[in-house]
Structure 1
Amino acid sequence: MRRADRLDSHYTPFGRVEVGLIRKANSPSDSWGLVLCTEIPGFVDRILESTVLGGIFGKRKNTSWRLTTKGNVLSSPNGYVVQELGSYVDAGEPELDSGSDADSALGGMSSRSSNFTVESELYRHIEENGRTYHRYKHGQYPLPNDTLEQDRLDYQHRFLRMTIDGKLFVSPIDPDRPINVLDIATGTGIWALSFADEYPKSTVIGTDLSPIQPHHVPRNCSFRIEDAEDPWTFDGLEFDLIHGSALLSCFRCPKNVFASAFLALAPGGYLELRDPIFPFKYASPPPENCALVKWNDMIVDASTKAGRPWTNGTHYRKWLEEIGFVDVVERREYAPLSPWAKGQRNKVLSVWVQKNILMGLEALSMALFTRVLGMEKEEVEELLVAVKADIENTKIHCYSEGVLVYGRKPRGNSSGSLKIDG
């Protein structure tokens, strides 16, 4: 038996979702109402499109989920109810037979029971200047974790993959054999999920500060809320590939994280990293008083003052070699911010790069500029209007630079003498 006032907690790309079933008054015994509660108002529509409801109502083919908003309560035409977190239905003594279809579908989801424990608080987000940020170690990572940013991260993943011919990695490993893979700062988990799906013999783990990964994942994929700058605790598990992408805001000391990766790799395993390098560069002098140049300088200044310089990518190859990686390979990648450059490839790249930057310009800027540079939200928004115009201006010949680096842990290396700086 499951009481409806002990809701199951599920973790989706849209935040924490509390799910429970209640028996509707004056209705047949097999008619149940769904209580679906979210921690972030406005996410309900996105949640209803997710796999959470698919798992619960997989056997209810004719269920309609077009919802209408009625204050704090969202209701559907078929009588199911949706409420925001904390506004539970007073259902008296509702019980759900364990043999019902609805209970089987709900119970089949590997969920965590939630009674607002200290741990569950980590899955609530911090709201600041209209965006949401991670609660666990709040302030450490300056980019938001809301749906706008999640959409951008997924778009960025597709773009980065396109630039390496649709591949997920370039390190010379054999992914068709049973291997262990770790994705640090996994974000929405899209890279880890893609790897697990495309290489079913692999075992994939993704770690991040934000619990924004899907709850329903392949059996060979899992996620953990962890800080990669803390000591790694994988119970002796050795990885064949450790991957990190867009790490520029993540770590105060990236070299220490890479050293932790070295220790966690199996001999012969690879660490692969991809990051943009700031500031942007110009093929010809930009105009005077260019807002894009100003923004570029400000973002480098703010990230440096925050202790996470966005120029770190230039040091990745050197750091890997100093740690002890061998066969280190570095590739530099270039892409125009608008279609000013000649060549079809540059035209295509510019479309992807420009959209990625425009989607994320506020996310990249707001916390750093307000927290570190002391700007007001309105000042940042005014600046970004001019920056967006410059990004779209084909007379400004700006381009971005990125770095892809991978290196191998030598075979026969136990890493016993490697020390990580304090």
Structure 2
Amino acid sequence: MDENAPDKVTSVTSQRYYSSVQYLLPADREETARLDAQHLIIVKAFENRLSLAPLNLVAGDKVLESAAGSGIWALEFSAEKHANGIKVDIECIDLSSKQFPPTGTYPSNINFSVHSISSLPLSWTDTFAYAHQRLIVLALNDSLWRQAIAELYRVLRPGGYLELVEFETKRFHCGVGPSSNKLCSLVDELFAEKGIIQDVSTYLCPLLEEIGFVNVRCEVRDVPIGGRQCVVQSGAGYTGEQWGEGWMGVKVPVVKGGGYGVVNTEEEFDVLVRDSVREWNESKGLFTSFYAILANKPY
């Protein structure tokens, strides 16, 4: 299977673009809006910090942003460093250019290019002082994770920092009623078929050490889902609707996979997510966990 092959799906009720047959979420304008809104939730969860790595970047250092999407993280990171008098060069990569901002709308120190994290240019070896990658757990199986981590190790310069931000797909804690329990069961079946790693924090730390990284550590933040008005007002978590929007993105892979004994049509999936949203909004104590996993390439 070529994980880079585009997967354009058009049906009666869905017209979504998928940049890869492996990645379970779309790469289109609708998904870009969702990811940009999610970016704010994640940053707030980590105490309004764009990075937890103890960086000491200087002007001219090169930074890699993998799975860049719209580039929202890179744009904010660049502005933050520039405000401190440091201009870094940021290379933003993704499998598709469809979510990139229009040329000319971003600073000249940021470049966007189409590359797979599993196969980066040879000329980038020992180049980057810092590599940041966020939320590609729904794109990689074990083999692809190993390729990706090896490539990140190769392109970092000695002493460079790696920061991976992921969410724990094994710890949703959001099956709270008949519909949401069915949705969780369905998603588990989909992930198992695709080889998605569901205990990502337990999996990634030993893998980083195996590849050669040192000083590996993991920080976790729990983010509430639905149920509490204060979460909505403060922006400190997901509303039920926001959480449901994310799972609407896997509708096409679910239906193409036969519905896993839970749904048979896109319409049935829509109803399942809608009813799950209601259950999430009527419940308390639901959360998802985000992990920031940091490591160094040794000197």
Deviation at 1:157, TM superposition (A): 1.1
Q: Which residue of 2 aligns with 1:410?
A: 298
In structure 2, what is the Cα distance between the partners aligned to 1:312 and 1:221? 30
Q: Which residue of 1 aligns with 2:157?
A: 266
Q: Which residue of 1 aligns with 2:35?
A: 153
One-letter amino acid matched to 1:304: A
Q: Which residue of 2 aligns with 1:132?
A: 16
Contact 1:248 1:313 in 2 (8 A): no
Aligned pair partner of 2:93 in 185, 207, 214: 207
One-letter amino acid matched to 1:269: G
What residue ranges of structure 2 are gaps of 5+ in the alignment?
none
Deviations for 1:401-420, whole angstroms, at most 9, x for unmatched residues? 22111001111xxxxxxxxx
Query: Normalising to structure 1: TM-score of the pair?
Result: 0.60
Q: Which residue of 2 aligns with 1:300?
A: 188
| Equivalent position SS for 1:329 | strand
Percentage of matched positions with identical amino acids: 23
Q: Which residue of 2 aligns with 1:57?
A: none
Q: Which residue of 2 aligns with 1:180?
A: 62
Deviation at 1:140, TM superposition (A): 2.6
Q: Mean Cα displacement is larger for which, 304-313 or 221-230?
A: 304-313
Counterparts in 2 of 1:406 and 1:299: CA distance versus 1, 3 Å: same
- 1:384 is aligned to 2:269: no
Deviations for 1:79-113, whole angstroms, at most 9, x for unmatched residues? xxxxxxxxxxxxxxxxxxxxxxxxxxxxxxxxxxx
Q: Which has the higher contact order (CA 8 A, sep 6+)?
A: 2
Q: Which residue of 1 aligns with 2:257?
A: 372
Counterparts in 2 of 1:355 and 1:232: CA distance versus 1, 3 Å: farther
- 1:393 is aligned to 2:282: yes
Counterparts in 2 of 1:354 and 1:325: CA distance versus 1, 3 Å: farther
Counterparts in 2 of 1:231 and 1:282: CA distance versus 1, 3 Å: closer
Deviations for 1:328-380, whole angstroms, at most 9, x for unmatched residues? 11112112212459xx78984664464531332311x3123112244421121
Aligned pair partner of 2:74 in 192, 196, 208: 192
Contact 1:280 1:296 in 2 (8 A): no
Aligned residues: 281
Counterparts in 2 of 1:134 and 1:346: CA distance versus 1, 3 Å: closer
One-letter amino acid matched to 2:180: L
Larger Rg: 1
Deviations for 1:153-182, whole angstroms, at most 9, x for unmatched residues? 111111111122222111111234331111
In structure 1, what is the Cα distance between the partners aligned to 2:79 and 2:29? 23
One-letter amino acid matched to 1:319: L
Counterparts in 2 of 1:220 and 1:320: CA distance versus 1, 3 Å: same
Deviation at 1:233, TM superposition (A): 3.6
Aligned pair partner of 2:167 in 276, 281, 298: 276
Deviations for 1:249-300, whole angstroms, at most 9, x for unmatched residues? 12232132111101111111011011111234549x945xx22122122212
Deviation at 1:131, TM superposition (A): 3.1
Counterparts in 2 of 1:150 and 1:282: CA distance versus 1, 3 Å: closer
Query: Normalising to structure 2: TM-score of the pair?
Result: 0.83
Contact 2:52 2:292 in 1 (8 A): no
| Equivalent position SS for 1:271 | strand
| Equivalent position SS for 1:206 | strand
Deviations for 1:133-169, whole angstroms, at most 9, x for unmatched residues? 145xx42322112222111111111111112222211
One-letter amino acid matched to 1:130: S
Counterparts in 2 of 1:261 and 1:347: CA distance versus 1, 3 Å: same
In structure 2, what is the Cα distance between the partners aligned to 1:354 and 1:233? 44
The CA RMSD measured in Å over matched residues stands at: 2.8
What residue ranges of structure 1 are gaps of 5+ in the alignment?
1-121, 412-422
Aligned pair partner of 2:134 in 245, 259, 270: 245
1:18-417 aligned within 5 A = 127-128=10-11, 129-134=13-18, 138-200=20-82, 201-211=87-97, 212-214=99-101, 215-216=103-104, 217-236=106-125, 238-252=127-141, 253-282=144-173, 286-287=176-177, 290-339=178-227, 348=234, 351-352=237-238, 354=240, 356-363=242-249, 365-374=250-259, 375-394=264-283, 397-411=285-299
| Equivalent position SS for 1:278 | coil
Contact 1:243 1:271 in 2 (8 A): yes
One-letter amino acid matched to 1:370: V
In structure 2, what is the Cα distance between the partners aligned to 1:337 and 1:265? 36
Counterparts in 2 of 1:143 and 1:192: CA distance versus 1, 3 Å: same
In structure 2, what is the Cα distance between the partners aligned to 1:204 and 1:185? 13
| Equivalent position SS for 2:63 | strand
Structure number with the higher helix fraction is 2
